[in-house]
Amino acid sequence: MAWLNNSILEDMGYFSDIYQGIKSLLTGMSITGKYFLNFRKGSITQQYPENRETLKMFERFRGEVIMPHDENNEHRCTGCQACEIACPNGSIEIIWDRQLDEESGKKKKMIDKHIYHLGMCTMCGLCIEACPTDAIKWGQNFENSVYDRKYLDRVLNKPGSKLMKGVEE
Amino acid sequence: MEPIVVNNNFKSEEYFINMGPQHPATHGVLRLLLTIDGEIIKKVEPDLGYIHRSIEKMCERDSYQQIVHLTDRMDYLSSNINNEAVCLAVENALQLEVPERVKVVRTIIGELTRIASHTLWWGVTGMDVGAFTTFFYGFRDREMINDIFEETCGARLTMNYNIPGGLMFDIHPNFVKRTKEFVAHFKTKLPEYDALLTNNVIFQHRTKGVGVLTKEDAISFGASGPVGRASGYSCDVRVHHPYSALDKVKFKEAIRTEGDTFARYKVRIQEMWESLSIIEQLIDNIPEGDHKVATNAVIKLPKGEFYQRVETARGELGVYIISTGTKNAHRVKFRSPGFSNLSLLNHISVGSKIGDLVAIMATLDLVIPDIDR
Ligand code: SF4
Ligand code: SF4
């Protein structure tokens, strides 16, 4: 009769395995089932292109480097090139020359073009940290796909813009 | 008529197959050259270099502030901890004492990074062994941490938040509130992880006894992180060489002795609990103070050699800087955890099946840019 006892014992192990297996599967399914029934609660999926109007990025979000201009088309960039030196990968190029300053009558270093290559930028933030006059800051725009790479090279200072008064002091 | 003789003496032959570089289970551009006999693995040879960007060479070109953001791109899931490693190395070399606030914030953010990395790992591990649900559940919880990071650092993956001397800017006013919310939320979710995957009978059959690594082998292969600790090798840098505010907190090093795939899995689950406890100990009393100490605009390290190690989500990351006293490093070397952990893949997977290799790869938790650099 020994063979019978053995096989029964083995069978018991076999059945308890099946029982344990089904139990563990049902435990897992009860969790997914709970979420399935409460699908409105705690759903974090965003319907992205539809929610564009309401989608607001965090204020510190690093989308792209921008140079804010005020209503008189004036910016705060003195052309000191600190951002160009801080940038690890040459995404910023400053083209400057000496222009006649009307007030003092002397020739002064002035920015001609602040060129920003968005395609090369790694969003490290070192340029913005380096700028002594807070002339550049982060923009929240993240929809940067374009049809040609050349559109990613931007001139940040607007045409005809001037240095804001009182920045250099 | 001649009888047709059927040759029944099938001789199995070893053959050779590529896994990767675009295989989803390799989690990146890793190419494995498998020598297999039927389904049985005879040899695994990793072929590296598909995402090599010569980060170490670039570190010789860039200033010390600029090096930091390159380390984001090594083990991108532990980017904050990588940043911290470089910053600590530079600060040690300059003998710069950072404010207490910086130390505490760095530790909290490091542990959040570890949880974020482990939740992602948990999701993809489940997916690798055939449970798709875990992927979404893991990403759901990681999303909360990413939001904390996005609000404070501005980025979700490549933070570059640590700078030599402190933090780039102070933590966001919402940081403490959000972190507490996350800790409360995640404490209810971790038991779900166990019920969904850990106790699942199919998962246990796929992982128990698979890819066993002994303690001796773990030490001789230089395994670190959860891979080493699952084999009973106490190698947590946070315990043995505490940095930042880690000497102020109490936590248990997660150690198991089985050394198999399931043990590596359990170690990471345990680590998430420990990270939660570290965050809880620190979050209520972040000291007031500055978020950085001023450094020179051009940082010049004194002449000499400097080494700093930290515990990333994958193991021990070492930063080794040789300086000749100029504004650039003479040589920078990273000891990355993924590289050493990959080296033992052949050792533990010979003799198992291809399906087991996927499970082993999942719990080694390799990040390929960390290996190639
Ligand atoms: S964010 Fe970094 S990479 Fe981009 S322009 Fe500024 S310094 Fe250069
Ligand atoms: S943006 Fe700032 S750092 Fe760059 S040139 Fe202008 S003032 Fe200097």
Q: What is the mean pLDDT of chain B?
A: 87
Q: What is the pLDDT of residue B284?
A: 87
Work out how many CB contacts closer than 8 A connect A with B: 66
The reported pTM is 0.87
For B60, residues 6+ apart whose C-beta sits below 8 A from its C-beta are B328, B329, B330, B331, B332
DSSP string, B89-114: HHHHHHTPPPPHHHHHHHHHHHHHHH
User: Mind listing the pLDDT tens digit for each residue in A3-38?
Assistant: 445 555 555 678 888 888 888 888 888 888 888 888
The token pair that represents B89 in the structure block: 């190395």
Return the residue in B136, B160, B296 with the most chain A beta carbons within 10 A, the one to mutate for interface testing. Answer: B160
Taking the CA of residue A123 as reference, the ligand 1 atom at the shortest distance is: 1
ipTM: 0.80
Closest CA relative to residue B283, chosen from B77, B84, B101 = B101
Which residue from A80, A97, A129, A156 has its CB within 8 A of the most atoms of ligand 2, so it is best to mutate?
Answer: A80
The pairing of strands A74-75 and A162-163 is parallel
- List pocket residues of ligand 2, CB cut-off 6 Å: A 77-83, 94, 130-131, 133, 135-136
The beta-carbon neighbor of A88 closest among B66, B152, B197 is B66
DSSP string, B34-72: EEEETTEEEEEEEE--TT---HHHHHHHSBHHHHHHHHT
Q: Where are the alpha helices (DSSP H) in chain A?
A: 2-37, 82-86, 126-130
pLDDT at B359 > cutoff 70? yes
pLDDT at site B116: 92
Count the alpha carbons within 13 Å of B100 in the hemisphere toward its beta carbon: 8
pLDDT at A1 over 50: no
B296-350 pLDDT, tens digit per residue, is 778 888 888 999 999 998 889 999 999 888 888 899 999 989 888 888 888 888 8
Q: Which domains does chain B have, with CATH numbers?
A: 53-371 (1.10.645.10)
Calculate how far, in angstroms, residue B48's C-alpha sits from the geometric centre of ligand 1.
30
Residue in chain A nearest B134 by alpha carbon? A32
* Residue B255: Cβ within 10 Å count: 18
What pLDDT score was predicted for residue B14?
82
CATH class of A64-163: alpha beta
- CA distance readout (Å), A34 to A27, B140, B240: 11, 16, 43
